[in-house]
Structure 1
Amino acid sequence: MSNDDKLNAVETWELMQCAKEKLGAKELQKIFQRGQTQINRYCSSPISEDHQRNPLDRIHILFSNLCEAGGEEIVRASINHFADIIGCRVAEQGEIVPDKDTVEEECLDDYPEKVAMDNMIAASEHPEKVRRQGEKTCREIMETVISYETHWGKLHNQS
C-alpha cells in the first residue's frame, strides 16, 4: 500500500505535515517563503507551544468570513480553482430547496440565469466563468424541478 493510500490526516497541521513529508521541508520553504522553523510550526500539533496557524487554517478563515459576508460564489470559485488540479469540482451536499412560492415563479427564476450564461458565451467570457454560471443555472433549474415534483405530488395525492 502506498503512503497516499494510508493518509489519515484530518487536521490542517496533519495535512501540512504530510505535505512536508511528501515534498520536503526545503520545497515548502520555497513555496511559502518561510524558514525551516516556521514550516515546522505549521506542521506541529496545536498542543505544542511552538504551533502556529498554517496557511490552510488561514484559507479556512478567509473562506468562512467570505461566506458570512455573502461571498459563497467567491469561495466556490476558489475551491474549484484548487480542485481543478486533481480534475474535480465542488458539489453541494445540502438538499436543494426552492426559493419561490410557486412552480411558475421558479420557472421564471430560471430564465435570467440561462440568459446570463448565454450572454457570457456571446461575449467570449473565460470558460471557467461560463461553467460557474452554468452550475448556477443548473441549481436554479433543480429548484424548479423539486418545486414541480412537490406540486405534482399534491395534485396526485402522492406526498
Structure 2
Amino acid sequence: MIKLDADAPATTWAFFQYSIEVLTIAGMARIHRKDHSTLYKYARDPERVPDGEARQDPLRRLLIQSADVVAMGGSRGEAAVRIVAAMFADLVGCDVTPREPACPDKHDVVSECLDDYPPLVRLHELIHEHAPNAVVRDQMRTLVREIYETGVAPAKPDTPQLLTSG
C-alpha cells in the first residue's frame, strides 16, 4: 500500500493549490492558458468561500467527465477511463488493477484456458498495428486478468476445482 505524506493534497482543489506552489502561478498559467485570478479560484476550498469565489478545478471536472464516460460508455468507456488512470499512475511508477480478485468465469479448466486466447490474440494484433503504448498496456492487463482467472480457481473453496494435480 502506498503511504501519503500527512500534508499531501487530498482533494482536487488542494492538488491545484499545491501545483501553483510547485510550478508557480506563471507556470500554471502557461499550462492552462487561464488568467491568474481564475487559477487562484480553482485552488480555493469551495466549502470555505462565498458562492462565485471558487471555481470547479479542471481535475475535478476530469473526474466528473470520467464518471460520466464510465456510466454511459459501457465497457468501452471503462477501458477509456482505465487507460487514462493508468497514464496518471505511470507518472509515479504505479499501475491500475481491479479491486476485486480474479474469479473464474467458466465451468471447467479447458474452457477457462481457451478463454485466455482471445485477449492474447488481441494483444498481438495491437502490437502488430503499432497501437499506442497505453492501449497495448491496457490489453496486457486484460490478458493477465484472464490468466489469473485460470490459475486462481483451486485456491477458492466455494468454486469447483478447475485445475487438478497430476
Report the TM-score when normalising by structure 2: 0.78
- 2:84 alignment counterpart: 78
Within-5 A mapping of 1:6-85: 7-47=7-47, 48-49=49-50, 50-69=53-72, 70=74, 71-85=77-91
Equivalents in 2 of 1:106, 1:115: separation in Å?
16
With over 3 angstroms needed to count, the CA separation of the structure-2 counterparts of 1:143 and 1:106, relative to structure 1, is same
1:152 to 133, 138, 161: 161
Tell me the amino acid that sits aligned with residue 147 of structure 1: A
Runs of 5+ in structure 2 lacking a partner? Answer: none
In the alignment, structure 1 segments of 5+ residues that lack a partner are none
Does structure 2 retain, via aligned residues, the 8 Å contact 1:114–1:137? yes
Whole-angstrom distance in 2 between the partners of 1:39 and 1:126 = 32
Partner Cα distance (2:108, 2:70) in 1: 28
Give secondary structure in 2 for the equivalent of 1:72. helix
1:141 counterpart (144, 147, 150): 147
- 1:93-141 per-residue CA deviation (whole Å, 9 max, x = no partner) reads 2222333344433222211111111223334444433222111111111
Q: Could you say what the CA RMSD is over the residues aligned between the two structures, in angstroms?
A: 2.6
How much has 1:8 moved relative to structure 2?
3.0
How many residue pairs align between the two structures?
153
Identity over aligned pairs, percent:
30
1:87-102, aligned counterparts within 5 Å?
87-102=93-108
Structure 1 residues 64 and 105: alpha-carbon distance in aligned structure 2, compared to 1, 3 A threshold? same
1:13-36: CA deviations, max 9, x gaps?
111111111111111111111111
Deviation of the 1:85 alpha carbon: 2.7
Tell me whether 114-123 or 95-104 shows the greater mean CA deviation. 95-104
Partners of 1:14 and 1:110 in 2: how far apart? 43
